[in-house]
């Protein structure tokens, strides 16, 4: 094959965006042969863009059609794992949007199914293509920053209005998305956190639901993490601050790096800080450092991830992010939720059954609340609030 035959499941904002990228020639190893959405309105304009693409209203029908080698899954979060498993059963390669799923057990089972199938499985962590984050990972993972001390990431530039949340009934709901800013906006940042700095052993988190919007899920989060070596991390995110900040700062025994405003700044110590601390003869001196600055244009990450996925199928080359890695960032968000719900520390990996118990209760209460609110005006919400459990 010179190109993979791709089927896109879900033609909302993300799915249609991937479709346009392929049509624009940004993924030369991909041809879209099929698209699918349960909402027929999402498929109306497809023939105008490419007459050769077949439209489906049922994803299983598309997967059984024989016209796709791979599927790109861009549907609400709960449906990522079950659709991926259906693909694996049929020997169809999968590239899924983030997050990998909503709760760790379903994602772990999806990963096991992927391994059994032997097909390619990737996840759309497009922020990994950013040269600044690639450089940060290189510095940290190579040991040039020395023993790690602290990571602080303030990422509050995810601002959203109430109109955004009102644009879809599944948005910002426990039943529809499975969470708020941690499950919708921040999975990229959570992935980069662990990809660059590593996985914490436990977290203490504060997730505030509906702090700035009329929603049932969290729109403001602060997470404190601890590591085996004593290092710590602080992650702050919200959709309710403007203007927002996006600043990643990582400190180690050999210096500090900061990623902000499209550049990476690196202060490289001449002598390890711990050595300097106990050998210096004066009290108000600091170790000397060299200063480096890196800048590079940010690529269009989405088509780059899709093209790498296609090349992995065709030539066996590496993907930007393996699908199994989606469990790492989800483990952090699951632990953060559980910590907030129990008002206590949460270990990673977290207690899956306890997490699901709390999530089920939130979903149940949300359904009852909205059912009561909408039954007064006779509105049928059975499809909008599909039972997930």
**pLDDT tens series, the chain, 389 aa:** 699 999 999 999 999 999 999 999 999 999 999 999 999 999 999 999 999 999 999 999 999 999 999 999 999 999 999 999 999 999 999 999 999 999 999 999 999 999 999 999 999 999 999 999 999 999 999 999 999 999 999 999 999 999 999 998 889 999 999 999 999 999 999 999 999 999 999 999 999 999 999 999 999 999 999 999 999 999 999 999 999 999 999 999 999 999 999 999 999 999 999 999 999 999 999 999 999 999 999 999 999 999 999 999 999 999 999 999 999 999 999 999 999 999 999 999 999 999 999 999 999 999 999 888 766 666 554 554 454 54
Q: How many CA atoms lie within 13 A of 161 on its CB side?
A: 3
Per the DSSP assignment, residues forming a β-bridge with 247 are 154
Does one domain contain both 214 and 248?
Answer: yes
At 263, which CATH number?
Answer: 3.30.360.10
Residue 287 falls inside a structural domain: yes
Residue 308, pLDDT score? 98
In sign, the C-alpha dihedral spanning 60, 62, 66, 71 is: negative
* Residues sharing a CB contact under 8 Å with residue 89, sequence separation 6 or more, in sequence order: 113, 117
Does one domain contain both 231 and 273?
Answer: yes
Residue 352 falls inside a structural domain: no
Rounded to two decimals, what is the model's pTM? 0.95
Does one domain contain both 95 and 233?
Answer: no
Does one domain contain both 136 and 271?
Answer: yes
Does one domain contain both 307 and 281?
Answer: no
The token pair at 355 is 């997490």
Residue 365 falls inside a structural domain: no
**E-assigned strand segments in the chain:** 4-9, 30-36, 54-56, 70-73, 93-96, 121-123, 148-155, 202-209, 218-226, 232-238, 246-252, 255-260, 263-269, 289-295, 346-347
The token pair at 324 is 């199994």
Residue 119 falls inside a structural domain: yes
Residue 151 falls inside a structural domain: yes
Residue 370 falls inside a structural domain: no
Q: At what angle do helices 104-117 and 352-375 cross, to 10 degrees?
A: 110
The token pair at 181 is 């800013």
Does one domain contain both 163 and 219?
Answer: yes
Does one domain contain both 186 and 92?
Answer: no
Residue 378, pLDDT score? 60
Residue 13, pLDDT score? 92
Residue 281 falls inside a structural domain: yes
Number of domains in the chain: 2
Which residue segment(s) compose the domain that 142 sits in? 131-299+329-347
Residue 182 falls inside a structural domain: yes
Residue 376, pLDDT score? 62
Does one domain contain both 248 and 304?
Answer: no
Does one domain contain both 264 and 343?
Answer: yes
Residue 274, pLDDT score? 97
At 111, which CATH number?
Answer: 3.40.50.720
Does one domain contain both 195 and 308?
Answer: no
Does one domain contain both 143 and 232?
Answer: yes
Does one domain contain both 310 and 214?
Answer: no
Geometric angle at alpha carbon 262, from 257 and 263, rounded to 5°: 35
């Amino acid at each position: 094959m010179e190109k993979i035959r791709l089927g896109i499941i879900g033609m909302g904002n993300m799915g249609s965006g991937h479709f346009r990228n392929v049509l624009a020639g940004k993924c030369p190893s991909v041809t879209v042969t099929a698209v699918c959405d349960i909402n027929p309105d999402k498929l109306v304009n497809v023939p105008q863009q490419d007459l050769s693409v077949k439209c489906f209203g049922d994803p299983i029908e598309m997967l059984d059609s024989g016209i796709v080698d791979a599927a790109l899954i861009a549907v609400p979060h709960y449906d990522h794992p079950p659709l991926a498993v259906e693909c694996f059963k049929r020997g169809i390669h999968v590239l899924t949007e983030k997050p990998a799923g909503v709760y760790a057990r379903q994602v772990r089972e999806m990963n096991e199914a992927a391994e059994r199938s032997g097909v390619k499985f990737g996840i759309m962590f497009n922020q990994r293509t950013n040269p600044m984050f690639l450089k940060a990972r290189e510095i940290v993972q190579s040991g040039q920053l020395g023993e790690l001390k602290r990571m602080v990431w303030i990422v509050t530039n995810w601002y959203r209005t109430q109109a955004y949340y009102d644009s879809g009934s599944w948005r910002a709901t426990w039943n529809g998305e499975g969470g708020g800013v941690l499950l919708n906006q921040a999975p990229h940042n959570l992935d980069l956190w662990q990809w660059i700095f590593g996985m914490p052993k436990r977290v203490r988190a504060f997730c505030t639901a509906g702090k700035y919007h009329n929603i049932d899920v969290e729109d403001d989060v602060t997470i404190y993490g601890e590591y085996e070596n004593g290092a710590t991390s602080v992650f702050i995110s919200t959709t309710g601050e403007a203007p927002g900040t996006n600043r990643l700062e990582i400190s180690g025994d050999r210096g500090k790096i900061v990623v902000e405003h499209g550049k990476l700044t690196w202060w490289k110590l001449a002598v390890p800080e711990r050595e300097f601390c106990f050998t210096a003869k004066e009290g108000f001196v600091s170790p000397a450092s060299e200063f480096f600055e890196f800048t590079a244009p940010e690529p269009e990450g989405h088509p780059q991830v899709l093209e790498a996925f296609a090349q992995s199928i065709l030539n066996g080359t590496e993907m930007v992010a393996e699908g199994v890695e989606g469990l790492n960032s989800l483990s952090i968000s699951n632990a953060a939720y559980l910590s907030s719900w129990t008002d206590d520390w949460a270990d990673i990996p977290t207690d899956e059954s306890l997490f699901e118990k709390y999530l089920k209760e939130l979903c149940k209460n949300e359904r009852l609340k909205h059912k009561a609110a909408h039954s007064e005006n006779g509105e049928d919400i059975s499809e909008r609030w599909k039972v997930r459990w």
